[in-house]
Structures are given as structure tokens and as C-alpha cells.
A and B are shown apart, each in its own frame.
Chain A
């Protein structure tokens, strides 16, 4: 990268871009202070700190727009180990996260149709279709996505990502690092752990070659430490929801989780979540809940329905119901204890293989039961996500057992996390109405 490129990068990202994003943040904060930007009689306004989260996410994608001038770029799956890539100064992009942004911005149908017209079936994951649609058409709400120099796929969330990344590798003609994490049906085996660690060791020289530099172990430890701090803070934030009334709902958690996914290992993420924790503590101290008169508290299972979050929050909020916790947001915090900054690779192999989606359906049920107890929950909504088979298979039995053996009302809600064409508002409303009745509200 030439000096001119570096200057152009800093001019656009660190001067112009940063100033514009900061300006937008101040405006949003001002609106939040006066309370004039929020139009819901049912829900408490979002955390004031959301403006900062938005600024950070905006900055991340802005960096992506100019990344080719400054950094090597890696596209990674959401469960992948990114600490070594960050230590090698890669700009890291999460196509799944980009998919979620498209979902929340309600542009998925337009973008995914591009992929479908090119022959991709509507039966494959809608994140993948969104990403491939952007690849084909260039359409995205974030300006543009930087071309990858390296791809990293970890199968600890699904095999789908590997099929998807094989397509990307073919399209971009760049190396693909695979971290394959044998699924844990009952208990993890030693040879599976060794296998994951070996692959991490093999991945480093591949990434070094693309980065054109060697991995600095001290930097890797430092980044791993920051990752762990952010993960602990995230978990602490979620655990604040054990309070009654719930200070932030699962919908707030969904919108605040982008940094723990795509900026893990950055010092600013630690600062953000520390500040967020303070604001949540203030809410608790003042007795502020998400809904004014909290009557019932629920657990959410599976990915969010990105394009209908406000609708669902208000629908339930109208009845004094708040979704307090979710297995999905919890998955980004529950393994904090397994991270060991002094042994980054050994601990990475443990955390990678133990992610929620890499564990059996019975284990997920046990996680739900534990959360129901700890968060004092009254029911469960299991989002049966047409796009996400690994998360959804097992939900029918999980629901049945929650009802039968645990006496907890549970609802299976058919939809898709990103594709609104699989969301029937009428059907969802009917199912929710019946469920609310069952909850005795």
C-alpha cells in the first residue's frame, strides 16, 4: 500500500468519516436526551448508548469501504476465531452480520432475489442468499463490501457456512482456511480437541502468508485478553436482565450485539460494554423496565427475526410481556470462562468446539431450562427458522419437553430470520394471541 493510499484511507475514515459519524451520534444522543425521537407508547426508549454502538458499527463498515487502501481483508464466519487475524492486522468482515444489517434495513428480498435469479435456491440460508446477492449485484446498505484476500470458515455453527464459503473461494479465487469442529453429540473427545488445535496451528502460517507478516504472540495474547473482557462484560449485561423489571429486552440485546461479534478483541468494544453496563445499572437503580407494567417474562430461542423486531416487541409489550433472555445472545457470553489469554490456541480450540450450535439438542434444552430458572421466566418462544436447520432441528421435542416435563408454556413460531417472504403476519399474530392467552395475561 502506497503512502498516497494510506493518506486517502485516513482522510476518508479517520477524518471525514469519523467526524460525520460522530456528528450523527451527537444528534441521536440529543434526541434521546429530549426523548423526542422515540415513538412508542408501549416500550421504553432504547439505551442512550445505542448511538455509540451505531457509530462503531458504522465506522466498521466505513473502514471496510476503504479497506483495500490500508489492510488485508478477511471474511469470516460468526463462530470463527478472529483473534489471530486481528493480531495480523486483517480487516475482518462478517458476511452474516452484513446479512443481519440488510435484514433490519428490510432490503433482503431485493438483494436475495439477485442470488435467486442466478440459480440459488430459496431453500438455502437467507444470510447466504443475501451475501451472494450482494456479491452478484453490488447492492448493500453499507456502501460496498471489500473484496477478501482470505476466507475463514469455521463449522462450529453449521455446515452451511462451508458450502457458502466454498462458493466465495471459487468466486474470489482466494485461499479458504477451514476450521472444522466435530459436532458434540454427547461429549467432546480428545481427538476432536486435538484436531481443532492442529487446524488452528496450520491456519496461522496461511494467514501470515496472506498478511505478509509474522504473528506477534504478545499481540495475540493482548487481543485474546480484550476478547475475554468484552465477552465477560456482555455476559454481565445479559445477566442484569435477571432483575425485575427487565432493564433491556432481547430486542435491545440483538441490536447491541454487533460489537461482540465483529469487534471482539478491540479495546473500544470493552469501553462500549463497560459504559453500557453503567447505563443498565442506572435503569435498574431507577426501576425502569422495558415495558411499563411487566407481567410475564419470556425466553427466545434461535436467531432474531431481523425485519420484525419492533413489531414483536410491541405486540408482546402491549400485554406487559417482555422477552428477557435468549439462547442466541447468551451464546456470545456463556463461554467466557473457557478463554485463556495465556494459552490462546488451546483455549480457542475449547471455545470453538463448545459453541451452542456445535452441541446436541438435549444440551440446548438443558441451557433453556437453566435460563428459565435463573432468569425467572414464564414461557418460551422457539423461533423455528426455516433458514437455520442446525438451530431449529430438535425444537419440536424441546418445546414438547418444556411443556410436558417442565410445565413451561412454549410456542413454536414459524418464520425466517432474514427473509420476510417466510413470515406470515396473520399467522404469527394468531399464534401469539393464543400463546398470550395460555400465559394467562
Chain B
């Protein structure tokens, strides 16, 4: 579909934003307050690895048992991949990202400020209060970096813009199987939210939603869970095998369908949005909540099975897996697990494993 071919390229977006006087932040996974950054005229551009970089740079600082996302991020940074950015934001998603932040701050400082964000692991009032104050601390850092001091009204305006983008993002997910897009095109569009300004993303998404054909595509419907669908050719391979992703529980996609906040206080509202997002092990949500969320997604989307597509060495994902799979089995939902290193091309073994799983699903249809 031609809309997809017009998704602006990451580098073009960055250059344009900077030409217009804005700043650019490299943001590591997973959750962070987009609206806060934009209120300072800072465009968040997310860094999920990226895949396929020369990891030898990272290997001089990190042991081989650290996940490939962290290895690649450090390598990419050292190779100059983030030179164009003005600040690096490191949300605390796991021990490995914590370690990366610490190594960068203490041993390999880049020539730009590093702003870590601690994300609390519960949904208690104390978690919301802490995160609100943490965002205030980030506000102060950004104020020092940009020399700007957005008012509450500016912050609210920025929040509303992001809430609008997230609303269309949710609509896209809900209409996923009825859109005239292949899986890879769909996820390219969804993942353009990782670097597009909200307003540009809304425009693109609405153009696609206008073409909702209201008739589900054909294929074995599956749910994809994990961190990130890299390499993206995975999605092509799944389509070629006669299946389609109808819902996802991916850290970079479905786990970031942030609901609108409730509070009239802008920083608290930003905190609420993250804390009440769909369950995510990196934010400490109980396994029961994850199970219920997965079963709901399966029911609403008609998925017939779940592919857990996990990054090797990712403890947050690996701990929940056996319990989740067991709970799915009780609900008669088959599942399969695949472990990947985001640097490797799709292996024959991975493909065979998924293919065998899809055959089982097909027989059960």
C-alpha cells in the first residue's frame, strides 16, 4: 500500500526536526514520557539495538551473556550511530540496561548528556507519586539542556498530542486483521511511532485507517509476544508460511498502548499513562495480569496460538515464560518459544520451529 512507502525515513525526520531548531534524544527501551520530551522540543528517537551492527565495540565493555539489544546499543553508540542526537535517555527496564547506563555514565561517557529514568515496578499510589517526582527531575534536566521551561499548559498540550497519537495507535492494533496491509507493512507503520513526531504519525495512521476493508485477511491467526520483531523479515516469513499476526504483546508495540491519563497535573498524568499501560514484566506486573491480558487479546483477535519470540539472555521475558505457557495450555491455546540474537539473520532452525508450530495450528483449524 502506498501509504507505507511514504513513511519518512528516520534520518530525514531527524534532520528536518533539527533544521527547525529542535533537539533529538536517543531513547533506549522501553517506557518513557514522550510528551515531556516533546514539550521541550526534543524529538525522541528510539534505539532498539539496532540489529546488524558490528558488536565488537560493545564486546570490549560487556560480557557475552548480556543481551544483544544492550550489546548493539553500545556498539552503535561507539560507532558514531548516535552522534546526530543531543541527549541519551535510558529508561530502567532491566538489570542489563541499568548496567549499560552505569557503564556509560562512569566509564565510556559520550559527548552528550545521559538521562536515566527509574521506572517503579508496581501500580501503587506510591509508584505514581514516585514516577511523577522522577519526571519532575527529568524536567529539570531537560530545562538545563534546552534552556526551555514549558508551562503546565504547554505540557498538557503535548500530552494531548501524544494521547491522540496513542489513540490512533490503539485503533490500528484493533483493526489490524482488517487492514489492507501485510504484517511487515503494518509493523513498519506501527514502529514508525518510534521516531516520528506524533502529529506526523497521526496523519499517516489515519490515512491507513480510512482504508479499513472490514473484512479479515486470510491466514492462520497468531499472537506474537516478546521484545521486538527483529529481524523484521520474520514477519515476511510468517506470511509466507500462511499465517498472520493478528495481535501482539511486544514490548516495542502492544505493551505500549498507553491509555489516556486522568490527572489534571501534567507530570502525574504522564506517570499514570505508563503505570496503567498493558502488563509488562519489565514494569513488574504480576504473571496473573499478563495471563489475563494475553487471553483477552487471543479472544478479541481470534488468534489460534502464541509465538513467544524472545531475545536471548532477556531475564524479564524468560522468567514468566513457563508459567504463561502452562496457563495458556490450560486454556487450550498452543504456544511455541523461539530465542533470537537480534544480530543474527533468521535461522533455519527458527523458521522450522515456527513452521512446525503453524502446521499444528492449521490441523486444529
Contacts and interface: CB of A to CB of B under 8 A. Distances in A.
A182 B137 CA distance: 13
A119 B326 CA distance: 10
Contacts of A386: 63, 65
Interface residues of B, number: 53
A397 B98 CA distance: 15
Q: Which of B66, B107, B286 has the largest count of A CB atoms less than 10 A from its CB?
A: B107
A239 interface: no
Interface stretch (B165-173, B178-186, B314-322): B314-322
Interface in B83-103: 92, 94-96, 98-103
B312 A182 contact: no
B126 A162 contact: no
B107 A394 contact: yes
Interface string A188-226: 010110110011001000000000000000000000000
Contacts of A384: 63
A123 B312 contact: yes
Contacts of B350: none
Contact of A119 (B118, B287, B325): B325
Contacts of B284: 162, 166, 178, 180
Contacts of A396: 60-63
Interface stretch (B37-45, B127-135, B200-208, B234-242): B127-135
Contacts of B66: 389, 393
A349 B225 CA distance: 36
Interface in B105-130: 105-108, 116, 118, 120-122, 124, 126-127, 129-130
Contacts of A120: 318-319, 321-322
Contacts of A189: 133-134, 137
A293 interface: no
A403 interface: no
Contacts of B321: 119-121
Nearest to A197: B126
B281 interface: yes
Interface string B281-300: 11010111000000000000
A159 B95 contact: yes
Interface stretch (A91-99, A339-347, A360-368): A360-368
Nearest to B127: A180
B313 interface: yes
A392 interface: yes
A394 B102 contact: yes
Contacts of B96: 389, 393
B60 A195 contact: no
B323 A170 contact: yes
Given A389-B315, A392-B63, A401-B107, A191 B130 contact: yes
Contacts of B315: 123-125, 159-160, 163, 389
Interface string A157-185: 01110111011011100001010101101
A128 interface: yes
B121 A180 contact: yes
A315 B207 CA distance: 70
Interface residues of A, number: 52
Interface in A397-432: 397, 401, 414
Nearest to A386: B65
Interface of B is mostly: helix
A395 interface: yes
Interface in A357-381: 360-363, 365
B126 A393 contact: no
Given A185-B101, A393-B103, A178 B121 contact: yes
A121 B318 contact: yes
B137 A191 contact: yes
Nearest to A119: B322
Contacts of B287: 166-167, 169-170
Nearest to B310: A121
A240 to B, nearest CB: 31
Nearest to A176: B286
B95 A158 contact: yes
A166 B286 CA distance: 6
Contacts of A128: 319
A118 interface: yes
Contacts of A390: 95, 98-99
Contacts of B121: 155, 159, 162, 178, 180
Nearest to B96: A389
A119 B335 CA distance: 13
A262 B38 CA distance: 48
Contacts of A394: 99, 102-103, 106-107
A191 B132 CA distance: 10
A120 B325 CA distance: 11
B319 A124 contact: yes
Contacts of A118: 322
A180 B122 contact: yes
A186 interface: yes
Interface string B264-291: 0000000000000000011010111000
Interface string B125-165: 01101100110110000000000000000000000000000
Contacts of B282: 159
Contacts of B106: 360-363, 365, 394, 397
A118 to B, nearest CB: 6
Contacts of A162: 121, 284
Contacts of A155: 121
A56 to B, nearest CB: 32
Candidate in B95, B99, B124 with the most chain A CB atoms within 10 angstroms: B95
A361 B102 contact: yes
B65 to A, nearest CB: 5
Given A361-B102, A393-B98, 12 more contacts: A121-B318, A121-B339, A162-B121, A162-B284, A163-B281, A167-B287, A171-B323, A185-B105, A360-B102, A390-B98, A394-B103, A414-B63
5 contacts: A194-B130, A390-B95, A393-B62, A393-B100, A394-B107
The 9 A-B residue pairs whose C-beta atoms are closest, nearest first, are A393-B99, A362-B106, A119-B322, A163-B319, A191-B133, A397-B107, A182-B118, A195-B130, A361-B102
Interface of B: 60-63, 65-66, 92, 94-96, 98-103, 105-108, 116, 118, 120-122, 124, 126-127, 129-130, 133-134, 136-137, 281-282, 284, 286-288, 312-313, 315-316, 318-323, 325-326, 339
